[in-house]
Structure 1
């Protein structure tokens, strides 16, 4: 390695340690706007190279003001894990090792790490041990992989080879999905040529759970090939669909049940919360993330399929220059769509070893308790309403409970979110829930403590009192 290359690595390392040490004290919001970031990072197309160490210094100086504090203890804006240092260390090695994780022969150590980590994941999540696991960029692609396996197998059983003949002229594939499913599931359906408008949307309850009786009505009559998509952890409320009933109804029709469990599936690792996801093991496939509750660095997701053969047939990449492996070797190219991809097995293996069963369970339980603590304190303040039972780590808040109109409540809620973000103590986001604007709170960062929650709650209440007193103007 050149002196310049070593200096670049050393500067990045020193800065990363300083960034980690400041994660508890730095603002969770960005410090620079888009114009400042452009001024720092933009410029003419480079004609000549620059010292790597100098470029790293420039990158740090220009980019860090625009880095969100997602790795700190007071970031509640989205369901984003906090990149545990152990996973980051494994990820550094992954980058330096430069392995292409798509193939066993290109990265044998990663393939074995994936195989071991996959077995551990199935055990921890209480899923069928015969299932196969593909390491993906995240739950969006994990949903894509699982639904591809479902689509191909169901159409093959109907006498159609989608691998060879595509979808033109294929028997129709019916997809039923809860009305409050996550947007990325609809994206996966689009990518697979199944269309997001062609799905049957099933009614949900006040918390976003699929109504089993409504699903039963939707499944009456002639169906043909069928996929039902259930949800473990609704993105606003953390609610879980009734998996036992969904599985029974779907399997009676010969259908495939897929569970989108990007974060909620991890409830199965925690004895106090596992009952929320009871029955999920009866599904045929599952999608979840490592970069949420497992706290791996971005990006990392897992596509889990009970029928390993269906999984392989949907994903396998073949070419004459790719050596074939024996049955005793797990080759990653059979289980995820990208042939060239990051060696995600190392970070996952590391975090599972570092946390273990007890550590993961304790973290999930602690985050759920902290979410309840935060919600209870907010709900005790006059004019603030928590709109869901806090069963997991997610809740939504509405401000101006006595507002004269829903529109006034929307304006008050948006104003409180803006003032909370401007205060810089914590980061919360907003969104629409039941056609009303709400503050969304997600507690899922490993560094978050009671002190972080209490400080953040005080800041939100202060923002509400200020807005309530001065108005939204």
Structure 2
């Protein structure tokens, strides 16, 4: 690979990043139409390296979503700290198979160090094992595979060898506001999405402890540290207390909310989280690393190892008791970006990042109320659920804002009613960005009220 090619790729990437905050958040129709530039029959002769980059820049870059910019409030998508972009580029150049000390000594060491830092900053049990996966879906999948192993092993059942046919039944308890990634992980593990016990939630989306079912040693409880709509936290301390007495396994879906433990003003929201058995979180949400960067943390190292380990003659040089706790062998060096973010931010920087987003979410909510919109949730974290006078006007306003382009957020349903959700998750978002977004929303409200089309 030539230095000239790398320099050209760097220049194009730098140009993209320089413009990201001054462009539309979602691409316009011209950019979307331009994607047809990729449509061609498979060529007989290959293109030059420069032609490949030029096509990506001409047709691809304009049609990207500026989710790494200042005013993207869709889903729960963090920005990207510049240092993590640099680390990502280095990880790509290194091209390590980050699954063992044999395949990558450097990533073995960096992931060991990063794991210790994560347990420290998140204040979780130091005996826990940490793994790096694609996102919260695979983090939850991996943790619940360990839970499945432990509960069935108690009954003398080897689930890795015999599967689930004829196995003792495991009861799975989830919130009525359970995230779809948890349901997906449950379906992949053979538990099924519909066989769960759903617990009703309170006004802000936290589990109603009074409605919680009885637990036993064949129960897995999935709790939330940060409801994906409202940001609410389940009563984890009480649930873990009951689970501990019964021998049940508690898993925490903390894709973004678990990072509240790293913020002095917010840590109280996570009381009792450290008493759980496993946790899932993402670096590409609130730590603001590039995609993908999921993290699974499990207190019971042996159960995770038994659930995930494999053996083969050609793997005899690999220490299978070390890195191979994860579903993939072909694992990129995603831990490098998490290390870079933690090294750059330090404890105080992580605190400021998380706390700042929550402060700006509250500012956004006050501004939206000032415009006559209704805030449906108690803004305890970085999530704001918003509605207008009717479902039709709520939908029309959301579409108008998306078309206008200053900012972007998407739809949700909250307590059975149509709404839209704003998530403030980027280190780049400033108070000025909130004000610009409010001005755009005000303009779109006037358009909708005047009968204009979204």
Task: State whether residues 31 and 59 of structure 2, in contact with CA within 8 Å, keep that contact through their aligned partners in structure 1.
Answer: no
| Counterpart pick for 2:276 among 277, 283, 286 | 283
CA offsets, 1:98-124, max 9 Å, x none? Answer: 111122211110111111001000000
Does residue 339 (structure 1) correspond to residue 329 (structure 2)? The answer is yes
The corresponding residue for 2:176 is 179
Q: For 1:277-356, list aligned pairs within 5 A.
A: 277-324=270-317, 331-333=322-324, 335-356=325-346
Shift of 1:458: 1.5
Aligned equivalents of 1:230, 1:326: Cα separation in 2: 33
Shift of 1:33: 6.2
Shift of 1:470: 2.4
The corresponding residue for 1:149 is 146
Task: State whether residues 32 and 63 of structure 2, in contact with CA within 8 Å, keep that contact through their aligned partners in structure 1.
Answer: no
| Counterpart pick for 1:377 among 351, 367, 382 | 367
Does residue 397 (structure 1) correspond to residue 378 (structure 2)? The answer is no
Shift of 1:195: 0.4
Task: State whether residues 31 and 62 of structure 2, in contact with CA within 8 Å, keep that contact through their aligned partners in structure 1.
Answer: no
Number of aligned residues = 454
Task: State whether residues 361 and 381 of structure 2, in contact with CA within 8 Å, keep that contact through their aligned partners in structure 1.
Answer: yes
Does residue 470 (structure 1) correspond to residue 451 (structure 2)? The answer is yes
CA offsets, 1:400-457, max 9 Å, x none? Answer: 1xxxxxxxx1110010011111111111111212221111100001110010011111
Aligned equivalents of 2:446, 2:388: Cα separation in 1: 10
Does residue 253 (structure 1) correspond to residue 280 (structure 2)? The answer is no
Structure 1 unaligned segments of length 5 or more: list them: 401-408
Q: For 1:187-266, list aligned pairs within 5 A.
A: 187-215=184-212, 218-219=213-214, 223=216, 225-266=218-259
Structure 2 unaligned segments of length 5 or more: list them: none
The corresponding residue for 1:405 is none
CA offsets, 1:330-388, max 9 Å, x none? Answer: 7322x210010111121111111001110010011100000000001111223x10001
Does residue 270 (structure 1) correspond to residue 263 (structure 2)? The answer is yes
| Counterpart pick for 2:99 among 102, 127, 132 | 102
Does residue 359 (structure 1) correspond to residue 349 (structure 2)? The answer is yes
- TM-score between both structures, scaled by the size of structure 1: 0.93
The corresponding residue for 1:10 is 7
Alpha-carbon distance change, 326 to 40 in structure 1, aligned in 2, over 3 angstroms:
closer
Shift of 1:311: 1.2
Does residue 435 (structure 1) correspond to residue 416 (structure 2)? The answer is yes
Alpha-carbon distance change, 398 to 326 in structure 1, aligned in 2, over 3 angstroms:
closer
Segments of 4+ in structure 1 off by > 2 A? 5-8, 31-35, 323-327, 468-473
Aligned equivalents of 2:434, 2:289: Cα separation in 1: 22
Q: Tell me the SS of whatever aligns to 2:125.
A: coil
Aligned equivalents of 2:186, 2:283: Cα separation in 1: 22
Aligned equivalents of 1:40, 1:445: Cα separation in 2: 32
Aligned equivalents of 2:221, 2:200: Cα separation in 1: 13
Task: State whether residues 293 and 335 of structure 2, in contact with CA within 8 Å, keep that contact through their aligned partners in structure 1.
Answer: no
Task: State whether residues 35 and 63 of structure 2, in contact with CA within 8 Å, keep that contact through their aligned partners in structure 1.
Answer: no
Aligned equivalents of 2:314, 2:219: Cα separation in 1: 37
CA offsets, 1:289-333, max 9 Å, x none? Answer: 000111111000001000111111111132211144569xx7322
Shift of 1:152: 0.6
CA offsets, 1:50-102, max 9 Å, x none? Answer: 11121111111110121000011100011111121111111101111111112
Aligned equivalents of 1:34, 1:254: Cα separation in 2: 55
Q: Tell me the SS of whatever aligns to 2:313.
A: coil
Task: State whether residues 100 and 318 of structure 2, in contact with CA within 8 Å, keep that contact through their aligned partners in structure 1.
Answer: no
Q: Tell me the SS of whatever aligns to 2:172.
A: strand
Q: Tell me the SS of whatever aligns to 1:332.
A: coil
Shift of 1:465: 2.6
Does residue 455 (structure 1) correspond to residue 440 (structure 2)? The answer is no
Q: Tell me the SS of whatever aligns to 2:387.
A: strand
Task: State whether residues 172 and 197 of structure 2, in contact with CA within 8 Å, keep that contact through their aligned partners in structure 1.
Answer: yes
